[in-house]
Structure 1
């Protein structure tokens, strides 16, 4: 519900601030007084593109701010989707800067026009005789039928499953594409995998093999050097151990003479023990050393295999080859399991389609039950609005396709005259008739769903006083369930409002400004009398105005 509007420096408006109540609000004023300016300002709040020429004073910025009570609207999801702070008293502000730049804010958070339009569509519906294209839109026609059919929860469940259905089909397509691509590479990947598996790869293996190769490939040289080392240590005449033993004996004699030489003796003794151990190890190595041509051939072959594989896969280590092997194993397995994966996904899709078909059937049944009631209500209201022969032919046909709101295709046909052919609304109804049909539909919708604030902009143009009375009754009845504004030239409609505002122009210092004022009872009487008989107020016009108000 629109509770407040502030406009500064916009068109002929210098500064305007007004509060609104719920119920039925009337806005009147002479032609050219500025009612369209008021609508233009509201349109900016709803996300219309800004125009620099709208600035009253081009040196100052234009500010339009509207306050809405949205506590009864289910808009928390939309606020979350648009990443906005939800407040039950929501303030939308639009600024047009002298530079031409435009800014928009919702609860002081900056938003783009797209977000503003999404939110604005849920808050205000501005409707004029020339803005009836919504009527011919399938989505709007379904909205009307679904309101009567009470399919909201059915459609929510259907929509969730339809989203799942689309996701599963996307995944199926990806699996099929993967399978098609993978099959092309499967044989080659399997060949590469087989090579790596046969290589029996082990972490750290390359270093071990290289060490084995060096050992096996140099057995004779190792044997020769071990023999030399053994001889140097153990030769009876000039071996190192022999010399150390002689040295030890000499120091033992000195140590008996003085303890000063004991340290030297201990160090030589330690060296002798170490070198004895070295000799034992050398002899053990000599005993274990064995030329093994077969083992050398095996090691050499394995090294060649690993070198070929690292070069082939452009890597340097066995560990990298293992990673490639595991990855190829997954690819080959995925290719070989693709048929089963596709079959499983197809089964999931069939299960969801079964649910969708059941839900769509239920939606269709509810819609078919609601259509006769909608037809009856529409024709009854239009009869009151001067279209006694108006008839609707509304029917559903179930398609083979899952649509965004079920499986129904809608035929919404109209005939304004007896014996006339039924046709689609945009071809069968005139502008004035479309306007009255829209009023009838909105009045029906208001009984079933929470509609945004609606502003009827002179939809009564060209209708008689009697019909305008009926229009006013319909709008007044709608206003018991929602906030309704009517910009009108007809006193019959103006008299039915709970609140009455007048738009007027005023010249101050040779500058014209547009203003909006709330009328009290006496001012309403004068305004209605002028609407009835012109600026020259007559007693009969005053009396008629009071009669209308009462």
Structure 2
């Protein structure tokens, strides 16, 4: 729960450092004194977006910091998952804003993204402001309340997992149908393209091979001349290198008896001659097989022109891509031919997933229906205690198409008396009735969720007297179950029941208007409640009445 709040240079707050306590506390102060400013600062700690206008005029930065005691709450997993140091006795969250527009957030001195700060903030604190009463008209809020009380998180998550698969396959089915329809409309064109590519008898590597042949044949005369000259140099009758080396070898061989060293040279010359003879034979073979055939070159070039034409037409660069396109066209044609079977198969998959979704949705619906009955009886008791003995409250659950949250439409119905039919709570309840309904719902939710701190911002709007006292008693009870409840109020009946009382006031200084918040002493508290009862001129009767409310 919130132990300490520090605010510096935030709008009208110069510096505020205040300790808070477990149980039920109240905050009072005149309208415009700065209570909303403190809530705004806490909102920034919970991850709300910042505005540089929030920084106190003349300051270059503002700091908002809160210390929480989490020792009674199992929250270590959040810190472990996000690699943040965990101190259950003193968890610190801090937000810093600069006049240049920079915003930084920290959890236990570890810099974090605003989204992470919000994720933790949602587990630390709930602020119920007046505008939240409008949520009673929102179906998603009503459904969320039912799910929290039903504690169906696992069942809803299991449903949503299957529903996501169902949506994915349903979309895939629609895409398949659209593709088949487009292909059917273009079947003649697809068939023409496939026939054209198929009849072209494309083979991998064909283009490279033909380009090489074309290049070779285009230089046939140069090649033949070079080969002829090489053959003549190697095998010429008088000057051929092979014959001349043979003669040199014979000459050295004839003196080997008298010049032993010449025998090694003879061997080396014979090796050279054998290698050159092999080269000469290969050159002659190439010469004999190099014939220039203009008709064959035309055939090759015509084939290349056709390949180039197809590549340009189908916007590709290689024969391999043409082959791939041909195969794709064949697959599309096969799909068209087998489209009914493909659609039927996909429809069966979608139907099976729909059945599984329905089964999961039914489980969630049963849990919601069970808690809806409990809510009806519990709300009747709570509203009776709040001065509405004839009020009726029901949770209407009607079936709709499967959606992300199941198959249920949830609506809160209300009637203040037995003679009026049940209608949507937001349409028929008055401001005071809505405040009592919301407090009752919050009290039920707080029993189902271990939330350390709940702040009520003038939830008492539209009520007074004994009803206000009953509302304070409910908040007091909420603060007794390992929870911290803080109520911002204008009603003395509520202020008197707080275990601790804080006052927000505004003061004019030479530097400008500043807001401050202080914890009241017992005597200061009597005066504050007396002032709330009688106004600025505090009478003895008001003092006595304040003491009576405080049970002094």
In 1, distance between residues paired with 2:359 and 2:262?
A: 108
In 1, distance between residues paired with 2:455 and 2:129?
A: 8
2:547 is aligned to 545
Choose which of 88, 94, 97 in structure 2 pairs with 1:95.
97
In 2, distance between residues paired with 1:249 and 1:540?
A: 144
Deviations 1:294-346 (A, max 9, x none): xx97886466424421343149xx99313431354245325524736554443
1:308 is aligned to 306
Deviation at 1:232, TM superposition (A): 6.9
1:395 is aligned to 396
1:471 is aligned to 471
In 1, distance between residues paired with 2:492 and 2:57?
A: 35
| 2:454–2:486 contact (8 Å) kept in structure 1 | yes
How does 1:177-192 map onto structure 2 within 5 Å? 177-180=178-181, 184=186, 186-192=190-196
Deviation at 1:398, TM superposition (A): 1.1
| 1:491–1:528 contact (8 Å) kept in structure 2 | yes
Stretch moving more, 20-29 or 169-178: 169-178
How does 1:490-529 map onto structure 2 within 5 Å? 490-506=491-507, 513-521=514-522, 523-529=524-530
In 2, distance between residues paired with 1:529 and 1:96?
A: 41
Deviation at 1:480, TM superposition (A): 2.9
SS at match of 2:421: coil
| 1:45–1:94 contact (8 Å) kept in structure 2 | no
CA 1:73/1:92 → structure 2, altered by over 3 Å: closer, same or farther? Answer: farther
| 1:161–1:352 contact (8 Å) kept in structure 2 | yes
How does 1:234-313 map onto structure 2 within 5 Å? 234=237, 301=299, 304-313=302-311
SS at match of 2:448: coil
Deviation at 1:138, TM superposition (A): 0.6
Deviation at 1:44, TM superposition (A): 3.9
C-alpha RMSD of matched pairs (Å): 4.8
Runs (5+) with no aligned partner, structure 2: none
CA 1:134/1:74 → structure 2, altered by over 3 Å: closer, same or farther? Answer: farther
| 1:230–1:279 contact (8 Å) kept in structure 2 | no
CA 1:416/1:94 → structure 2, altered by over 3 Å: closer, same or farther? Answer: farther
CA 1:171/1:90 → structure 2, altered by over 3 Å: closer, same or farther? Answer: farther
In 1, distance between residues paired with 2:130 and 2:397?
A: 28
In 2, distance between residues paired with 1:27 and 1:2?
A: 15
CA 1:225/1:76 → structure 2, altered by over 3 Å: closer, same or farther? Answer: same
| 1:8–1:16 contact (8 Å) kept in structure 2 | yes
2:417 is aligned to 417
| 2:11–2:54 contact (8 Å) kept in structure 1 | yes
Deviation at 1:474, TM superposition (A): 0.8
SS at match of 2:318: helix
Deviations 1:266-291 (A, max 9, x none): 888777767766776688789x8699
In 2, distance between residues paired with 1:377 and 1:538?
A: 42
In 2, distance between residues paired with 1:60 and 1:233?
A: 99
Deviation at 1:93, TM superposition (A): 0.9
**1:329 matches 2:327:** yes
| 1:500–1:518 contact (8 Å) kept in structure 2 | yes
1:445 is aligned to 445
Deviation at 1:437, TM superposition (A): 1.1
In 1, distance between residues paired with 2:55 and 2:254?
A: 121
Give the total of aligned pairs. Answer: 536
| 1:123–1:452 contact (8 Å) kept in structure 2 | yes
Deviation at 1:116, TM superposition (A): 6.2
SS at match of 1:109: strand
1:374 is aligned to 375
**1:38 matches 2:42:** no
In 1, distance between residues paired with 2:411 and 2:39?
A: 34
CA 1:234/1:413 → structure 2, altered by over 3 Å: closer, same or farther? Answer: same
Deviation at 1:489, TM superposition (A): 3.1
Deviations 1:455-486 (A, max 9, x none): 22233245332112211111112223432111
| 1:145–1:367 contact (8 Å) kept in structure 2 | yes
1:405 is aligned to 405
Runs (5+) with no aligned partner, structure 1: none
In 2, distance between residues paired with 1:276 and 1:360?
A: 89
In 1, distance between residues paired with 2:297 and 2:511?
A: 108
In 2, distance between residues paired with 1:391 and 1:479?
A: 27
Q: TM-score, normalised by structure 1?
A: 0.78
Stretch moving more, 169-178 or 67-76: 67-76
In 1, distance between residues paired with 2:12 and 2:416?
A: 42
How does 1:21-100 map onto structure 2 within 5 Å? 21-46=21-46, 54-68=54-68, 72=73, 89-95=91-97, 97=99
2:350 is aligned to 349
Deviation at 1:546, TM superposition (A): 6.3
Stretch moving more, 424-433 or 49-58: 49-58
CA 1:173/1:250 → structure 2, altered by over 3 Å: closer, same or farther? Answer: same
Deviation at 1:73, TM superposition (A): 7.2
**1:126 matches 2:127:** yes
| 1:78–1:119 contact (8 Å) kept in structure 2 | no
SS at match of 1:497: coil
Larger radius of gyration: 1
**1:383 matches 2:381:** no
1:433 is aligned to 433
